[in-house]
Amino acid sequence: MLRVLNVRQLAVIEQLEVEFGPGLNVVTGETGAGKSILINALKLVLGERGRPDLVRAGADRAEVEALFHLSDPSRFADFGVADGELVVRRTIEAGGRSRASLNGRLATAAQLGELASGLVDICSQHEHHSLVSPGGHLGYLDAFAGLGATGLRGEMAAAWKELQRLFELETQLKEQLRTRAEREDLLRFQLAELEKLRPEAGEDERLAEELPRLRFASRLQAGTREAEERLYAGDGAVSEALGQVLRALTELQALDPQLAPVVSQLEVALSEIEEAARTLGRYADRVETRPERLGELEERLHLLRRLIRKHGSLDAALAFMESARTELSELEGVSARLGAVEHQRELALKKAAAVAAVLSARRRAEAEKLGAAITAELASLGMGDARVVVGVEQPEGRAGELSAAGARLGIEGVDRVEFLIATNRGEEPRPLRKVASGGELSRALLALKRVLAGLGPQGTYVFDEVDSGVGGAVAEVIGKKLYEVSRQHQVICISHLPQIAAYADQHFLVRKEAHGGRSRSVIQRLSLEERREELARMLGGIRVSNAARAAADELLNHAR
């Protein structure tokens, strides 16, 4: 609901603030007083392009602010709408630059137009809005027929989503199949290289440790054998000399016991030397000079290191080998999986097409009822010769599109819905969006909204020129129907007819006055007595008579 509209320096408006209320808000005033500027201000709030010529002469910029109370603020979550209140601000500089913000956060005109589209629905000549745009007609027909999210429409959406999921999966599998041969060849080549080498975890480290022993085997054997000879086995070995010293000190120990510790140390040293010599001997016996083994080891270590350079580490190469085997197994199953998915997709398409057919049949049956209901409303609005047809068509599917029996299939089924109207007897119905007369268009839209009351978005409806070319009893009927629509939606109506203004919950008067040598528009919310005077003026002209006041009282009493 639109609560406050604040306009500054826009055309003939210098400063104006309007607090609208729920229900029916009627704006009246003399021609040229500035009522249409309110419509222009709302258009700016809805994202229409701002023109520099809208800026009041002599001002730097024009500003429009609108405060909305939202029943569903979820669409505006990114703009900090936590308490259900949204402030839309639009500025137009005299130089042509335009800015928009929602709750103080900058937004582009495109964002504003998209987000604000459901806030205000303006019904006036040549305006594009929800009930004129064919894009919303199918939703209104489904709402009228009770085919909502929990009904056939929801079933259709679920069937379509499943069909889309399978179609996308089928496309992915076909792409995998197309590239499978190339990928399989690569994986098999890489896997053959790994399986031929058959690396083991830590093998590179073990071979790197073994390689020096093979490469320097002769030197290691000769050196350890010579060390054994010098320590123990050869003439004049260290152990022999140490044994002689030990025997001499043992004899001296008998003369002086203080030599006992030294004797013990030498005994240990002799034992250690002899053990070391025996160990060296065994090592020398084990050392083998195997040129063929050395060649094999050097070649394998070279291959392992090349593998490590390719994969980063031996562990990574082993992990790749496992993943390659897994991927090859999956690739080999693509064909079988694709066949299964194609079968599932065919079944899903048949199911979606069946639901779409039932949904289409229901729509065609309900479309006739909806058209008749709107036609009856138009008759009561002074358009007795008008006839409304709710057209339900099935556009043909194009190449590459999912289709059912040749018709393009979508989340809403196979139907395209558009409201058609013939405003005169004998004429062929034409799209509602092509109706030329502003008054006829507004009344047609009023009839639609009267029939669909409570089914559309809970926003604000603005009617301009709804009373064009009518008067008397028809004007009273229009006022009553506007009042009935306003029980479901906030309605703002710009009118010249007292029969309509009498039904207002809030009545605003726009007038032009001189200030500082310039004209400006002001708006005033009327009290009950002021409403009586304004209705009398609308009935009687410039001079308000008691008879006009009495007639105004009668209108107000009848409207109540």
DSSP codes of every residue in 430-481: EEGGG---HHHHHHHHHHHHHHTTTTS-S-EEEEESTTTT--HHHHHHHHHH
Confidence of residue 478 (pLDDT cuts 50, 70, 90): confident
Q: Which DSSP letter does residue 76 get?
A: G
pLDDT-based confidence at 116, cuts 50/70/90?
Answer: confident
* Dist. CA 422–CA 426, nearest whole Å: 8
Percent of the chain with pLDDT over 70: 88
pLDDT of residue 134: 80
Rounded CA separation 46/551 (Å): 39
CA distance 528 to 506: 10
Q: Lowest mean pLDDT: which of 90-99, 459-468, 484-493?
A: 459-468
Tokens 């229901």 -> residue: 362
- The domains located in the chain, with CATH, are 2-130+437-526 (3.40.50.300), 179-332 (no CATH)
Would you say the pTM of this structure is higher than 0.75? no
pLDDT for 258-314, tens place per residue? 888 888 898 888 888 888 888 888 877 777 766 666 667 767 777 777 777 777 777
Over the stretch 161-199, which tens digit does the pLDDT of each residue have? 999 999 999 988 888 777 776 777 777 777 777 777 777
Residue 135: is it exposed, middle or buried by C-beta count within 10 angstroms (0-12/13-18/19+)? exposed
Instruction: Categorize the per-residue pLDDT at 131 as very low, low, confident or very high, splitting at 50, 70 and 90.
Output: low
Give whole-number Cα distances, 524 to 145, 424, 460, in Å: 42, 40, 20
Q: What is the mean pLDDT of the chain?
A: 82
- Can you give the pLDDT at residue 128? 44
Measure Cα distances from 258 to 242, 245, 511, 545 in Å.
Answer: 20, 16, 133, 150
Confidence of residue 372 (pLDDT cuts 50, 70, 90): very high
The answer to whether residue 221 scores a pLDDT higher than 80 is: no
- Does residue 436 surpass a pLDDT of 50? no
The pair of structure tokens assigned to 193 is 């290289």
The arithmetic mean of pLDDT across residues 305-327, rounded, is 77
Predicted confidence at residue 451, as pLDDT, reads: 83
What's the CA gap between 294 and 218, in Å, rounded? 13
